[in-house]
Structure 1
Amino acid sequence: MTSFRSQTEIVSAGFRMLPVDWILENYIAILNNTSTAPIMRWLWNSLFIATTHTFLVVIVVSVTAYGYSRMKFKHRDTLFFILMGISMFPGVVNLIPSYKIIESFGWVNSPLAMIIPGLAGMGNIFLVRQFMKGIPKEFDESARIDGASDFVIYSRIIVPMIKPVLIVAALFSFTGSWNDFLWPVIVYSDVEKMPITAGLLLLQDIYGNYRMIGQLMGSAFLAIIPTMLLFLFAQKYFVQSMNLNSGVKG
């Protein structure tokens, strides 16, 4: 609501839920500032990074979960729980070594710095693995009798059944990538290449004074619109993912 108020109303009026006079000047000023605060460029950067990251996460997570739930190999469960235990360490512990790795690859100020790390998140793998374990093994056995390989079973039988949980994993990945703040602040210094979260920090210096509060609030509101719409249209899949047999018909 603050982003639709005039600066005079923001600093002088008392608390009001709705603006007295609805204005769009704050958004016009935001969109016209393409030099020091190119917010549309930042939004595009975040959209590209989050979408690419999410697409790759769905592939990596589904393949990994298939291996840990449907295939048999030595020390499978032991390895899985070791990786789960390692994932319990706070992410901040890995910031310095992660940055050194990114720097050695030449990915600083590159979208790859946010797209590649975190593709094999154990939280998503655990979620998808548990969903797969609820699918009867008879599907696999019937397919093998007909000569299907592991890839055919995975791509044509398992993936269609686990669509709801993959959508949930994709939703978690997209919002996590879009809202990530600390990591992009560390790996980006080029204003043109920043995602929206790193850009919002820069905006606090540009708009963060008593004369531009409306523009700062407008920028923050633009940043939350994509994830807000995503949750609005994908919320039904959260309910489906809670049922481990939701992908099984009959």
Structure 2
Amino acid sequence: MRLARFERGKVTGFGVLQGEAVVPLAASTFEAALRASPSGDPLPLATVRLLAPVEKPGKILGIGVNYAAHAAESVSFVDTKKPEVQKWFNKQVTAVNAPYANVDLPIVSDQLDYEGELVVVIGKRGRHVPRERALEIVAGVTVGCDYSVRDWQRASQTMIMGKGFDTHAVFGPAIVTLDEIPDLGALEVRTYVNGEQRQSGHVRDQIHDIAAQIAHLTAAFTLEPGDVIFTGTPAGVGAGHTPPKWLKAGDRVRVEIDGLGHTENEIVREAGETVIG
């Protein structure tokens, strides 16, 4: 199954992607959508707007420096080495963004960077889940981009300020269930900026694989349906270049994973308006 969330006019709903159409589901929540039956005729994709598959995840977690080549290039901007222990941060729920929506270039920084990633979405509650059973609590996987503001990231030991800006947790277009993926490790993550390939890496190259990530996280706290996990990025991020290749207004960032689809975002200058209430 390829579970998506979509908007049509003023109505949002869940549906199953089938080719160039989405079949609506009789569900109003993510958990219900995982079990729901079709509730209407297929809608052409051209008539809907795909949203982030989970509107407000309870947790958005990301693992840092989880590909060896990225760990090597990261020394220059986060002062770290290949990690023996998993390094985790969180992104804020207000960072959630649709797969094809604009992404803000913050008014407080010009060091916006991209990180193409495989994203895991949790489908069942899990605590103290052993590695060999970890995939039992996974609803599916999707494509994501962990946009990062590097100077703000460096300024905080936990990295959460640089990782949590609004619009910077892009994922979609759909959650693909694991029964549709013959070999999770064979999936390749590729990132392009303005058509230039910047990143390429296979999931099998992760230092800590997905099952190990889930086992580690659930040793500390419960994972719940709708929780989102960014599982690490390959080498080639903007900060890893000399000089750094920061994103600019007007740039287009595309992340692809074969069999899962792609995200594509235009970078736009944040308005920076005061919002109260």
Mark yes or no: TM-score above 0.5. no
Higher Cα Rg, which structure: 1
Structure holding more helix per residue: 1
TM bin, normalised by shorter chain, reads under 0.3
Structure number having the greater strand percentage: 2
